[in-house]
Amino acid sequence: MTADSNTEVPKGNNSPNVAANSNALETGTSVPAGAEIPLHPPPHVEILERNIDTSRQLRVAVIGAGLSGVTAGILLPAKVPGIKLAIFEKNADVGGTWFENVYPGVRCDVPAHVYQSTFDPNTQWSEQFAQGAEIRDYWQSLAKKYSVYQYLKLSHEVQDLNWDGSKGSWSIRVTNLLNQQEFVEEFDYVLTAIGRFNAWKLPDYPGRDEFKGLLRHASHYDPSFDLSGKRVAIIGNGASGIQLTANIQKRVAHLDHYARNKTWVTASFSGDVTSLSPIEIPPEKRQSFADPKEYLKYRKQEEEKYWRGFKGWLKGTEENEARRAEYLKIYQDRLVGHPELLEKLVPDFSPGCRRPTPGPGYLEAISSSNVEYIQTEIKRFTETGIETTDGQHREVDAIFCATGANVDQVPPFKIYANGKELGEVWKRGGEFGSPYTYLGVSSPGFPNLGFILGPYGFGSSGSIPYTVEVQIAFYSKLLRKIDLEGIKSIQAKKDATDEFIQWSDSLFQKTVLSDNCSSWYNGGNRGGRVHGIWPGSSGHMATALRQPRWEDWEYELLNDSGNRFAWFFGNGVTSKELDPEADVTGYLKEPSQVDIKDVHETWWGIP
């Protein structure tokens, strides 16, 4: 055949014979002329009648309605379309720590304009370090403003959780404290937001039940008790012990302060020495905050101090030595004329090993004539007081135990999954020996379970509300993936968790957290594994959680067809494009409103 031939030459690969011959060339087989050969295997995946963006309406439970629970109640419904949310709270209202703690002087040791939501701040805080009631009122106001109460089940105490692998769901057994009725509800995913300071318990000293006076934990303080003329004992010198001592010392006849552990009492975490005394925010200053630009400038100045202090946690750094010198000067200035107290109080561990506490009036209180500072170990309680191991007995009318709460970070309810109980495998001597999580968000063996401010989930710098918001944003990504991709169960891989903890152990050895002190960072276990805080700065934590590493997770799908796209891809369309009222061009904006960094990054702007 020549180029100028009149014979028509077939174009393309549309001829069955051409396809057959092509296949024969590729496979080396002989194919009869004219045979029909499929270009691909016949379809075998059932196409589900669901749109790719149709929510399965995940049932999500949040346990706890303090700062974390309220924030979850605000953000999750906005970030996880179709979510069916329930928030269980054992108390009669929201507020967590700030609802429960009503002892005199209870306040936050972080400035109020830092200890608040990033997206809905309060311009009218009355003091730099807000008192507990004002903080409680703020979080309750947010819960009302954002309709969080519709998800709340108040006065409902969680008893235990049981995982059903066949269903891919948790059964939560709950007691309604108003009528003592028990019931069980099922959820696809559970987030614990139980906080760190509300699972309190009285110390188990011998003779505790024999004491005839008033015996209370600081978190269960009785405001009706008249302190006037009373002899009072306070056990513990953490934040609540320091605040309670400073605030009742002048009202009692005599105060015995039992404090076995030394601690650093500081000005403030931001370095403002004047904050050793309560500071009212002047009305004119609050009025200036009506200007959004002025208030934003102030907030940024206040909060920036909390983002740049991580070097102070590292051993042998100039920053840590400067911190020690600053704290020591506070003791020396406030305890002039009391060298014996200086020796008793100044720790031999570095600042930061145990969380330092700003203590307005505390050092002045314990150096007063009506206070005895006691470091001898308590032997037992008696009918009329406390006996120490040196044989001395001190009579008191009331004992307040400021002995902290669940420092081991094990939830106060049982969690059962795959033949194991979380508290048992986390405890000393258990399978893991200490709280065991991947990035603070998942514990292998316990699928569809997350922790807000749990082990390894507490920022070492920055602000607590910001950390909570970052974690909830992470869980929102996780929940959207579970929802849209038809994931039945998801959990971090064990090898990823092991490597995270190995790296954390190594990093913590370079910090003052590994000094010989007892703190909630190490679960109250001197020299124990540090697990109460993120291994790095809060900026480091926020970066690590910004984008999930899905390669570190293992999951099981709802659809058992064997095709990973069967559920997720559905029928090939989106709900938006089928809805004539929906905006399928939400990605189009006025050029002046476009931020190049955000182009096609938002999950909600998809057609």
Residue range 327-340, pLDDT digits in tens:
899 889 888 888 88
Higher pLDDT, 261 or 244: 244
* Three-state secondary-structure class, residue 573: coil
First CA to last CA distance, the chain: 54
Asked if residue 469 lies in contact with residue 115, where contact means CB atoms within 8 angstroms, the answer is: no
Q: How confident is the model at residue 536 (pLDDT cuts 50, 70, 90)?
A: very high
Average pLDDT over residues 492-517: 96
**DSSP β-ladder status, 487-492 and 553-557:** antiparallel
Q: Share the mean pLDDT of the chain.
A: 90
Q: What pLDDT shows up at residue 58?
A: 98
Which amino acid makes up residue 42?
A: P
Please tell me the distance from the alpha carbon of residue 478 to that of residue 449, in angstroms, as a whole number.
Answer: 11
Identify the band that residue 261 occupies on the pLDDT scale cut at 50, 70 and 90: confident
- Assigned architecture for domain 59-90+155-198+408-496+532-557: 3-Layer(bba) Sandwich (3.50)
d(CA 354, CA 266): 12
Write out pLDDT tens, residues 79-124.
999 999 999 999 999 999 999 999 988 888 889 999 999 999 999 9
The closest of 314, 276, 256, 246 to 461, measured between CA atoms, is 314
Q: What pLDDT, on a 0 to 100 scale, did the predictor assign at position 274?
A: 45
Q: List pLDDT tens digits, range 163-186.
A: 999 999 999 999 999 999 999 999
- pLDDT above 90: percentage of residues in the chain: 71
Whether the per-residue pLDDT at 1 is higher than 50: the answer is no
pLDDT, mean of residues 193-205: 83
Longest C-alpha distance within the chain, in Å?
122
Residue with tokens 């969380």: 355
Q: What is the mean pLDDT of the segment spanning 127-155?
A: 97
Pull the structure tokens for residue 281: 């925010």
pLDDT at 500: 99
Which of 11-15, 337-341, 595-599 has maximum average pLDDT? 595-599
Q: Where are the domains of the chain?
A: 59-90+155-198+408-496+532-557, 208-401, 573-605
Percent of the chain past pLDDT 70, that is, above it, reads 91
Whether 513 and 530 have beta carbons less than 8 Å apart is answered as yes
Q: What is the pLDDT of residues 284-305, one digit of tens each?
A: 999 999 999 999 999 999 999 8
Residue whose structure tokens are 């002892």: 103
Phi/psi at 163 (5° precision): -90, 135
Fold agreement between 59-90+155-198+408-496+532-557 and 208-401:
yes
Instruction: Read off the pLDDT of each residue in 434-452 and give the average, rounded to a whole number.
Output: 98
Decide if pLDDT at 14 tops 60. Answer: no
Q: Do residues 242 and 364 lie in contact, with contact meaning Cβ atoms separated by under 8 Å?
A: no
306 — pLDDT class (breaks 50, 70, 90): confident
Q: pLDDT tier at 444 (50, 70, 90 boundaries)? A: very high
d(CA 37, CA 131): 79
CA atoms within 13 A on the CB side of 34: 0
Which top CATH class is 208-401?
alpha beta
* Average of per-residue pLDDT across 267-283: 63
Residue 562 φ/ψ region, left for φ over 0, alpha for ψ in the -120 to 50 degree band, beta for the rest: left
Q: How many CB atoms lie within 10 A of CB 526?
A: 13
Picking from 72-76, 207-211, 373-377, 521-525, which range would have the lowest pLDDT averaged per residue? 521-525
Q: In this structure, what token pair is assigned to residue 26?
A: 């590729």
Mean pLDDT is lowest, of 59-63, 245-249, 266-270, 543-547, for 266-270
